[in-house]
Chains A and B, each alone.
Chain A
Amino acid sequence: QVQLQESGPGLVQPSETLSLTCAVSGDSMSSYYWGWIRQSPAKGLESIGYSFYSGTTTYNPSLNSRVTISVDSSKSQFSLTLSSVTAADTAVYFCARIRTTVGGVFADSWGRGTLVTVSS
């Protein structure tokens, strides 16, 4: 059974870059997409973007200019960078495995989430 675990700083300064890593264990990263989703009281659940294990990426248009998601299959991990952060980027950040089937596309496994606060 696949397990995902987020890691990274819990506090980021305004205008700086947020960087998180998701470690994947229990399954191969091939044949899946890997994504990031965040949740805040102000905006609720918000998809950030996702990347195929080979590197093809899709980002939420509202964050597209500030986001990079990359996959490192050799290390069984993928990462998120979000630049020029503001207080509005304060949220719990989840990493997730994305399954694509004939019936649909959905996040079938999630990390526990990590709270990132943007504040000076």
Chain B
Amino acid sequence: DIQMTQSPSSLSASVGDRVTITCRASQRISTYLNWYQQEPGKAPKVLIYGASTLQSGVPSRFSGSGSGTEFTLTISSLQPEDFATYFCQETYSTSWTFGLGTKVETK
């Protein structure tokens, strides 16, 4: 099974901050990597697919990079609506494993 390790598990930031979240795969997954945002009590929402492609309608302050085993989600300037939990997901295997999430909290 592919393991997806996200770091940090939580972070505190302020509006306007640049935020970076990392996801590491236990084996190479090319660019079969998605990022989702989830607000409390809601379903996840896709932000980035294919490691770096911005989903339609998602603000350009979100960006993704990486390939192989190491991936990054960056929020260039944190907005009030961005305080949420972020998950990575691999779709290289048939398990489609998710990371455990990174909770972005207000400082």
Chain A residues proximal to chain B, CB less than 8 Å? 44-47, 58-62, 94, 96, 101, 103-108, 110-113
Contact = CB atoms under 8 A, between A and B. Distances in A.
7 contacts: A45-B87, A47-B95, A47-B97, A60-B96, A101-B50, A105-B49, A112-B42
Interface of B: 1, 31-34, 36, 42-46, 49-51, 53, 55, 87, 89, 91, 94-101
A103 B50 contact: yes
Q: Tell me whether chain B's interface is mostly helix, strand or loop, or mixed.
A: loop
Interface of A is mostly: strand
Given A47-B97, A104-B50, 5 more contacts: A45-B98, A60-B96, A103-B53, A104-B53, A106-B89
B26 to A, nearest CB: 15
B9 to A, nearest CB: 11
Given A45-B87, A103-B53, A104-B34, A61 B46 contact: no
